[in-house]
Amino acid sequence: MIGALIRLLRPAHWAKNVFVLAPLVFAQKLSDPEALENGLMGFAAFCLASSAVYVFNDIRDRAEDRLHPLKRHRPIAAGTVSVGSAAVLFAGLVVVSLTLATSLGWHFFAVLVIYLVLNQIYSAGLKHTVILDVMIVSLGFVLRVVAGGEAVDVQVSAWLLLCTFFIALFLAFSKRRHELILLAEDASGQRPVLSHYSPAFLDQMINVVTASTVVAYAMYAISPETIEKFHTRNLIYTIPMVLFGIFRYLYLIYQKPTTRNPTEAILRDPPFLINIFIWALAALWIVYRG
């Protein structure tokens, strides 16, 4: 039962909440104990809130999940966790996440509430609206960054928001493509909005947001604002690592497709993880040592 409850939380997906820590890192506040504590509390609050969203969705979609080749193994769909237990867990996660949020100020609290409400609206109907469904998911990542800025009391760069939105669109469109290919003829039955997508259309969208992501990051790296802030032009040398990460992700989707969710796939891919680690070390060195 405990193992099933943990799986219900989807801890592997907490990696998405590192976006909350982006303002802390790029505002050069990692050495500030108070800012570091607040940033980590914000990260924890979003981990709990995102798990609450997953639990709510699993309760709501349990009937459809039982027909899905992968989702039928989820605890609620498989019957290892009852709906009542899941509802109690959902309520507890929401209460604890909002309690943490209040300690970080009302602005952070408001952003987290918007995130939770937006996800409820998404589940209630927006997830069935083509293109808008992906943009709502991407907006959730932007809210993470905005909340991270509120947690450590810094103004978030417009470039950081743009990079976040584009990379989130890239991930979301890639996930839709994975679902469409995996489910084949049953796609629209599992997720009705997939009937409005096609592999060719999604490939075009992925191409657009891939280029947009790379350009946004490159512009951020070479912008006068960034150079003045970090007193160096060296951030430009991290662009090849960003390119490799995107290309590796595309390689896994197109050349090594599996039944596993793309997010979970990259977290199990050594070359991708090594590249992320090298990029993180390089970015930290450049941002903090100039």
Domain that holds residue 269: 158-166+176-185+197-290
Count of CB atoms situated within 10 Å of the CB of 231: 9
Using the structure block, give the residue that is written with the tokens 């049953």: 186
Domain CATH for 128: 1.10.357.140
- Considering the domain architecture, whether residues 205 and 74 belong to the same structural domain is answered as no
Higher pLDDT among residues 155 and 188, named by residue: 155
pLDDT at 72 over 90: no
Q: Give pLDDT, residue 34.
A: 94
- Considering the domain architecture, whether residues 267 and 248 belong to the same structural domain is answered as yes
Q: Give pLDDT, residue 132.
A: 92
Using the structure block, give the residue that is written with the tokens 């996930």: 175
pTM above 0.95, yes or no: no
Structural domain count, the chain: 2
- Considering the domain architecture, whether residues 89 and 212 belong to the same structural domain is answered as no
Q: Give pLDDT, residue 216.
A: 92
- Considering the domain architecture, whether residues 150 and 210 belong to the same structural domain is answered as no
pLDDT at 211 over 90: yes
- Considering the domain architecture, whether residues 145 and 244 belong to the same structural domain is answered as no
Q: Give pLDDT, residue 104.
A: 93
pLDDT at 119 over 80: yes
- Considering the domain architecture, whether residues 162 and 141 belong to the same structural domain is answered as no
Q: Give pLDDT, residue 59.
A: 83
Q: Is residue 192 part of a domain?
A: no
**Average pLDDT, integer, range 18-27:** 92
**Average pLDDT, integer, range 163-182:** 89
**Average pLDDT, integer, range 49-76:** 80
Average pLDDT, the chain: 88
- Considering the domain architecture, whether residues 145 and 249 belong to the same structural domain is answered as no
